[in-house]
Structure 1
Amino acid sequence: MALVVQKYGGSSLATPELIRKVAERVVRKKEEGHDLVVVVSAMGKTTDDLIRLAEEVAEEPPPREMDMLLSSGEQISMALLAMAIQDMGYPAISLTGPQAGIMTDTSHRKARILEVDTSRVRKELSEGKIVIVAGFQGLSTEGEITTLGRGGSDRTAVALAYALGAEGCEIYTDVEGVFTADPRIVPEAKKIPVISGDEMLELASSGAKVMEARSVEFATKYGVEVHVRSTFSDEPGTVIKREDPAMEKVLVRGIALDTKEAKVTIRRVPDRPGVAAAIFSPLADANINVDMIVQNVSQDGFTDLSFTVSTSDLKTALAICEGTKARVGAEEVTADEDVAKVSVVGVGMRSHAGVAAKMFKALADEGINIEMITTSEIRISCVVRKEQGERAVRALHRAFELDKEPT
């Protein structure tokens, strides 16, 4: 029998009724002759509720205790789904991340998976059981419970699919797949049937919410084919797979908007060797991902340096930069949360010129000012004012004619 790994998000498990519907879908797959490992997120908004509880009892909850608290959400889901499947007459067992062999580094709240010991999962599968695994969590090399950060359940599913040699990895969510833009912003957005792993990684890193970037990176690196589809529909979704030459025929695959970035500016930084390293090394040590970086032209031996970070990391980043400011002799550290990042993504950029010019003209025609620009081989991103973000997405979607059926 072929092994399939499925993952169900919080919106798919938000109520007891929905959990029973997921159980029915899992059982149908089992009846088709598949072995099944099912990874689950916490029910609905459970994780957000737990974070609020922690903030009500402590101003700055310790990261270790936060992991102990947050890991409980997925354990509720896994147990309830296992109960629902057993109630339908099928053998099932729930396992926590550590019980399923998910081993991580020691970074609380943002742990990385180091390896997966599949022995327990294989044992349960060999006994004919459907294995339900709590996503988002693991056991560190120091024996501590860790969580993987937002989107961590996707990462659990992809890691298990690779480690178990699964035939496929199915990510079930409340949308029907990956679209050319967020349909809530662009009603004419089209579902993309097939997308390369590199394109999906760039879209996820740029704000697309269907899959989390590190999960896509892992799937792409290890060749795990992922099918993103809706829990509430039997329609095919979007397949994320290795790139093939035909994909370059499409100039731009999609538009992404990220409204959860903030811009940090350090003013009058001494323009000399080693200063940039002095600024960014402490941020890296704190596991803060820096996205876009812009340095102004030097004047009188000083320059301004701006970069973007996730809003969730802003408080820590500012504290670190305040400490660095005195050491390097900078004048001031400021933050701007009223920004958004809009990106166009497509492997066709490798072989077609003029994408940047078309993007900048479309934004200019809308009266949208560009504050920062960054590029990769298949992506161009611009920072704009937050209130102009959605208008920018709509303008770019029209400019690149993404309302036509994708191929």
Structure 2
Amino acid sequence: MKDTPGWASPGSAPSDGQEPGTSGPAEPADRPSSVPQPGAEPQDGSPKWSKEQPPPGAWSAPTGSPPSGQTPPPPPAGSGWGTPPPAGPGGGYGGAWGGGWGGPPPAAKPGVIPLRPLGVGEILDGAVSTMRAHWRTVLGISLTVAVVTQILVVLVQGLVLNDSAGSDVLNDREATIDELTRAMGELMLSSGVISVISLIGAIIATALLTTVTSRAVLGKSVTTGEAWRDARPQVPRLFGLLVLLLIMTVGLAVAAVVPGILVAAAGSAAAGAGLILLGVIGGSVVALWLWFRFSLASPALMLEKQGIRKALGRSAKLVRGSWWRVFGIQLLAMLISYIVAGIVVAPFAYLAGILSGDGVTNLLNGTSGLGWTFLIVSGIGSVIGSTVTFPISAGVTVLLYIDQRIRREALDLELARAAGVQGYGSGTPGS
């Protein structure tokens, strides 16, 4: 058995011969009752009952007060008053009850999350706890990826895109249609190149941090080298998965506006504009639905060692019936990441503007040139922001995947066994 959450096939039955519907070990059929019944025939070697028994009305309930001057006898060993409450979700009783009828004990927590269905706050806290508990590995991975990515972005902006950017043409009222079209194309190209570089960095960081987070759930640490060795075989598939998702969502959004463009080109400008607007709205909604429907494919591919098509199917199965929950949690994580990144990057952008007057002037005026000082100083802020936000976004996605599997497939039982939790899972697993 592996020690990552992709070990067992989905929906596997509990081990050790335990049936899923049982709540504990069955009592032997031939065990004698610990309290003999009045009037029953005594067995050989057992104490004899007196023939003179108290009248029926003299018996008191177990919880009643004893007669004055008498000490109540202790209950027979191995028995108690009544039947204990049923086991909690995803696990057994876990030993002592902690006194009386206080309910089942808390779920086991070998790592950064309790092994039970999670709330929104617990998922966010688990991502932050992973970064705090394994900060050397997490920050080492995030910082390395962020530095390499930002160096490439700065070099591309400084050496290539500054010469070809045409944002100054967009502010020229006398620019022709051809000049405006060319400027828009150059700006889209520059934004696309930077986005692709950032996406590659995010893919690598996600691949490595997925392994770290999965081990943190079990309370186990992992080095950067171990994380890379575990993730390396799946990195090409992860690239293919994300490229396929981008093609699906962007292609769908573009295809939705093609009818409006064709109608407008045919001469019906008003009808074409209306169709384009409807296409943008409808295509964006469907693309958004598809993106979050397959948003758990990345951890499924990395942890279950699946192919691209099977990973997409696993994500669709786990998200089915919980799309709004998955959408809300990931949207909240993205908002937190953007806010944190903005708080970190803003002072560096302000400092870069002070140190490089031309850079901030050109940025405010919409002209093309950004000085090297501005690019380098603002790039340092971007590195720090990415170092903090990479673990949050990757951790939330992985923990959301694990939470959905706990809810659908009782993965907490497999996690507890992999973490070495003794006596966990003797009850009915939660759903």
Per the shorter chain, which TM-score range? under 0.3
**Of Structure 1 and Structure 2, which has the larger fraction of its residues in helix?**
2
**Of Structure 1 and Structure 2, which has the larger fraction of its residues in strand?**
1
Greater relative contact order (CA < 8 Å, ≥ 6 in sequence):
2
